[in-house]
Amino acid sequence: VRDTGLGIPVDRQDRLFQAFSQVDTSTTRRYGGTGLGLAISRRLCKAMGGVLWAESLGIPGKGSTFHCRLPLEIADWEPDREPVAPLAGKTMLLIADGTLLGTEVRHVTQLAQTWGMNVLECDSLDAARRLLESGSAADLVFASRALDLPDDVSWPATIRFRTLWERGNEALQPATGGLIQPMKALALRTALADALQAEQPDAGTLVPASQATAEHVPLRILVAEDTVVNQVVIRRMLDRLGYGADIVGSGTEALAAIDARPYDLAFMDMQMPDMDGLEATRRIRRLLAERGDGSHLTIVALTANVSPEDRAACMAAGMNDFLGKPLRIGDLREILRSTAAALAG
């Protein structure tokens, strides 16, 4: 990194990487800062086996150059071979009724078309309704969170978009996916692909086989998940695999549900407002141990954190397995199969 700033006098360069140190205290008064940035950066470089140093002619006004050298290996990379819903050739119904800004509409349209999608734009909810009722096929709908989609219309997979100042999700209708402003291309593409995947069976997978498993070994399933969108996604995935589920929105409700009736499999979100998944699992295990009938219950964590520490915490709390977010229907199928096999075995 090369700057054209004040420069660093030679007799002060040794102070650069000391914590809480500034080469010139007047710099702090004028530009702010704590004197920690370079000290932390050097320690990070050292921790990664690298080195960080500075070069300056010591002439005010000539600037400075900062170098970082890190030993890096070329990673062995293979593309994800998990089947995902392709976007090319799919049709998106975009409801641009004024609840979405014009720039957002153009941004979504341009990106979707870049990925080979067809975009049908409607300027009102009534126009979208008429379009669907006329027989026009749409694979998914993109609409604002503020738009109230009526229940008397058979909507396809739905992506709901909301701004940062729309806090909470109390009024959020069930949807297959969601996005929050500012919208990034990767997030949009992932949301579209996940929504389509949730609506369709896996490529190369025969749904009747999964349904046959469900009929042969029926499972009593509980899902503890506080986010409405995620509730809809996992319910639809389970439906595709031939299973139903009871769904609750908190750890407290999960504990009450398991106290009231027996379950074979429980999916437990790790982040819930009143009682997190770890604490709920501990209490469930204690409850079932006291009753002496909980050995068969499989508890699976739903979490975006997949570090070794998080896995260890899940196991220590009494969980049997975990699924990473966003959910993949193939991973969900394997959990169902292994649980059914254990019960049948």
What span, in angstroms and rounded, lies between the C-alpha atoms of 195 and 48? Answer: 39
| pLDDT above 60: residue 106 | yes
247 exposure class (CB count in 10 Å sphere: 0-12, 13-18, 19+): buried
Both tokens assigned to 331: 């991973």
- Whole-prediction pTM value? 0.43
220, 263 contact by CB (below 8 A): yes
Ranges of H-type helices in the chain: 25-31, 37-47, 102-114, 125-133, 185-199, 207-216, 228-240, 251-260, 277-291, 308-317, 329-344
Cα–Cα dist 236/299, whole Å: 20
Average pLDDT over residues 292-298: 77
> According to the per-residue pLDDT averaged within each range, which of 60-69, 80-89, 218-227 is highest?
218-227
151-179: pLDDT as tens digits: 767 777 777 665 433 444 434 444 555 55
Domains detected in the chain: 10-69 (3.30.565.10), 91-199 (3.40.50.2300), 207-344 (3.40.50.2300)
Taking 90 as the threshold, does the pLDDT of residue 217 lie above it? Answer: no
108: confidence class by pLDDT, cuts 50, 70, 90: confident
* Residues 34-52 pLDDT 10s: 567 888 888 999 988 999 9
Give percent of the chain with pLDDT exceeding 90: 19
In this structure, what DSSP letter does residue 87 have? -
Task: Tell me the pLDDT of the chain averaged across its residues.
Answer: 77
> Is residue 136 over pLDDT 70?
yes
Q: For residue range 202-215, what is the model confidence (pLDDT) as tens digits? A: 433 333 444 445 55
